[in-house]
Amino acid sequence: MSSQLLTYLFVGLTFSVYIGIALWSRASSTNEFYVAGKGVNPVANGMATAADWMSASSFISMAGIISFLGKDGSVYLMGWTGGYVLLALLLAPYLRKFGQYTVPDFFGTRYYSKTARLVAVLCLIFISFTYVAGQMRGVGIVFSRFLEVEIHVGVIIGMVVVFFYAVLGGMKGITYTQVAQYCVMIFAYLVPAIFISILITGNPIPQLGFGDTLVNSSTYLLDKLDQISIDLGFSAYTENSKSNIDIFCITAALMFGTGGLPHVIVRFFTVPKVSDARKSAGYALVFIALLYTTAPAVAAFSRVNFIESIQEKSYFDSPDWFKNWESIGLIAWKDKNDDGLINYSVGEAFEGGRPIFSGTNGPQGEREINNSITKDNQNEVYIDRDIIVLANPEIAKLPAWVMALVAAGGLAAALSTAAGLLLVISSSISHDLLKKTFMPKINERQELFYARCSAAFAILIAGLFGIYPPGFVAQVVAFAFGLAASTIFPALLLGIFFKRVTKEGAIAGMLSGLFFTTSYIIYFKFLFKDLNTNANWLFGISPEGIGFIGMLINLIIALLVTYLTPKPPIEVDQMVDKIRLP
């Protein structure tokens, strides 16, 4: 069977499972729509949380990024797992005990004001849309490469599937499809990783193969990788090139940001008991760690494979995957030194970031580009980091069904996260904006109807982002985490652990965190991109890590304002006492 047919088969099969689950788990009340009736088993919730959390960027992009960054890539590994410790210890049990439907619910009650609720809704919608845009782009990439359909057809198919289970099933439908999606995703990630680990090191466990010796040699994989990297002009793979303070702040911003991401927090609202919320966070991290400890191994394996399979080969003799990805514009080669061979080394091969193809072909049949050539380096290869995981099975010459599996896994990762985010958006519109703020008189059936409408509306917007991706998707991811870390996380933390914190304190803290982080990121990422270098940064902290400073500012302002304003009412005091008990 051809690999394309296999891919259609795998993707079709998994999609019908998702739709089947959607039909079986329709939501009939707002309780089921928002929090799956609070009856989800903690292990199932752990799996659903893992699928919710691991997005297209974890599945498709992360190993590729680490592969190019080496040790600097550790910020993503630690940052996107360490946040679960904070969730399990500092937030999840108390928010579950609080027992309402949405994260802004907590803001509205604990900070006794509609303004606090609205500020939370604002931050939450912004964070969620930022994130959703990236997921839909992931769906588009997978469809266009593996199924050779136009990107917009792929996005529309994805939208229809999400529409089924998110609009019909709400949180209930999403939870059980996410469990299925986790299984597809992890299987699709581990199978090629195990194959490649065996091929390169002879060790079937990627986490161990990563630190093992190469087949038929006594050299360790990582030592060899350090050597190759240095030979090509990069810094050693196992050493940092960023400064420690920057690595510290980026890791912290990602961790605290994880703790403040609404689509993850609401997952803990769906379990029956407080103790289940703790357990569930533990299971979630086990399921996440399975992929996150494999990713750096995949990164190292594919780095070696990638370099060895193209370096100093002629384009004519280059492997098929090189030409396939070139044909959709994610790889480009320009023979700068006219030796007819592919030379990969440090630096950008040409000006302007992405390749602009001229439409003509060079002497060996390669696609010619119009970009002007950079003269300060010998690198001739442009490669989009996102393709590493997707191309990995091809690079390692694995059988066709493995590639089909990876395509289905990538789609599962993107769709499960998109659904979780869409639910957060729709519940904040129907529950927080309509029911709790502007239309308090609507009854439950009407609220459920509005919830479905806003889910459908959110899917449409997300689809548009996928078809017409805004050029700033990559930049705004830093935004999502920075904002979650500097607004939502500290306000939740203070709300639970410091009874004295007043609504004025919390709102002032959130707005100053929001203002500081937003202006820093906009300044360096949008207004003055040329200035975005170490020398100009505040204390040497990049825009990716500034959310951590935003969080500290939030905490300081919140506490200062708190002591200048009157104590919160006695009911709030009692409510906090209540959520602190099991």
Indicate the residue among 238 and 314 with the shorter CB distance to another protein: 238
Indicate the residue among 140 and 260 with the shorter CB distance to another protein: 260
Indicate the residue among 220 and 515 with the shorter CB distance to another protein: 220
- 469 vs 433: CA distance, rounded Å: 28
Q: Is 191 in the site for another protein (CB under 8 A)?
A: no
Q: Which of 3, 29, 113, 240 touches another protein by CB under 8 A?
A: 240
Q: Which of 285, 255, 292, 291 is nearest to 47 (CA)?
A: 285
Token look-up 């439907």 returns 101
Shortest spacing between CB 89 and another protein, in angstroms: 5
Pick the piece of the chain touching another protein (CB under 8 A) from 71-79, 127-135, 186-194, 438-446.
Answer: 71-79
For residue 16, give every residue at least 6 positions away whose Cβ sits within 8 Å of its Cβ, in sequence order, or none: none
Pick the piece of the chain touching another protein (CB under 8 A) from 165-173, 287-295, 383-391, 517-525.
Answer: 287-295
Pick the piece of the chain touching another protein (CB under 8 A) from 135-143, 280-288, 427-435, 517-525.
Answer: 280-288
Q: Which of 377, 409, 386 is nearest to 183 (CA)?
A: 409
Q: Which of 11, 21, 69, 88 touches another protein by CB under 8 A?
A: 88
Q: Is 220 in the site for another protein (CB under 8 A)?
A: yes
Q: Which of 140, 177, 168 is nearest to 155 (CA)?
A: 140
Q: Is 213 in the site for another protein (CB under 8 A)?
A: yes
Q: Which of 78, 122, 156, 559 touches another protein by CB under 8 A?
A: 78
Q: Is 500 in the site for another protein (CB under 8 A)?
A: no
Segment holding 560, helix H or strand E: helix 546-564
Q: Is 81 in the site for another protein (CB under 8 A)?
A: yes
Q: Which of 26, 71, 114, 500 touches another protein by CB under 8 A?
A: 71
Q: Which of 212, 326, 386, 432 touches another protein by CB under 8 A?
A: 212
Q: Which of 153, 199, 289, 467 touches another protein by CB under 8 A?
A: 289
Shortest spacing between CB 464 and another protein, in angstroms: 36
Q: Is 552 in the site for another protein (CB under 8 A)?
A: no
Shortest spacing between CB 214 and another protein, in angstroms: 10
Q: Is 241 in the site for another protein (CB under 8 A)?
A: no
Q: Is 230 in the site for another protein (CB under 8 A)?
A: no
Q: Is 85 in the site for another protein (CB under 8 A)?
A: yes
Q: Is 207 in the site for another protein (CB under 8 A)?
A: yes
- 516 vs 547: CA distance, rounded Å: 9
Q: What is the 3 state secondary structure string of 238-282?
A: CCCCCCHHHHHHHHHHHHHHHHCCHHHHHHHHHCCCHHHHHHHHH
Shortest spacing between CB 433 and another protein, in angstroms: 34
- 518 vs 122: CA distance, rounded Å: 13
Residue 194 burial by Cβ neighbours in a 10 Å radius (0-12, 13-18, 19+): middle
Q: Which of 3, 74, 115, 374 touches another protein by CB under 8 A?
A: 74
- 51 vs 33: CA distance, rounded Å: 19
For residue 551, give every residue at least 6 positions away whose Cβ sits within 8 Å of its Cβ, in sequence order, or none: 252, 253, 256, 485, 486, 489, 490, 513
Indicate the residue among 240 and 309 with the shorter CB distance to another protein: 240
Window 395-454: residues binding another protein (CB under 8 A): none
Q: Is 222 in the site for another protein (CB under 8 A)?
A: yes
Which positions from 249 to 278 touch another protein by CB under 8 A, shown as an x/- string?
--xx--x-------------------x--x
> Taking every pair of C-alpha atoms in the chain, what is the biggest distance, in angstroms?
80
Do residues 48 and 131 touch, judged by C-beta distance below 8 A?
no
Sign of CA dihedral 213, 344, 232, 243: negative
Indicate the residue among 22 and 277 with the shorter CB distance to another protein: 277
Indicate the residue among 110 and 172 with the shorter CB distance to another protein: 110
Shortest spacing between CB 446 and another protein, in angstroms: 40
Pick the piece of the chain touching another protein (CB under 8 A) from 84-92, 129-137, 159-167, 460-468.
Answer: 84-92
Q: Which of 90, 183, 328, 453 touches another protein by CB under 8 A?
A: 90
Bridge partners of 331, per DSSP, are 383
Degrees (nearest 5) of the Cα angle 508, 91, 498?
50
Q: Which of 208, 203, 183, 181 is nearest to 411 (CA)?
A: 181
Helix segments in 356-443, DSSP class H: 387-395, 400-427
Cβ atoms within 10 Å of 136's Cβ, excluding its own = 29
Q: Which of 36, 201, 119 is nearest to 487 (CA)?
A: 119
Q: Which of 113, 223, 341, 552 touches another protein by CB under 8 A?
A: 223
Helix segments in 25-101, DSSP class H: 30-35, 42-53, 56, 63-69, 74-86, 92-98
Window 113-152: residues binding another protein (CB under 8 A): none
Rg (the chain; Cα; Å): 24
Which stretches of the chain bind another protein, using CB under 8 A? 66, 71, 73-74, 77-78, 81-82, 84-85, 88-90, 93, 207-208, 210-213, 220-223, 238-240, 244, 247-248, 251-252, 255, 275, 278-279, 281-282, 285-286, 289, 292-293, 296, 577, 580-582
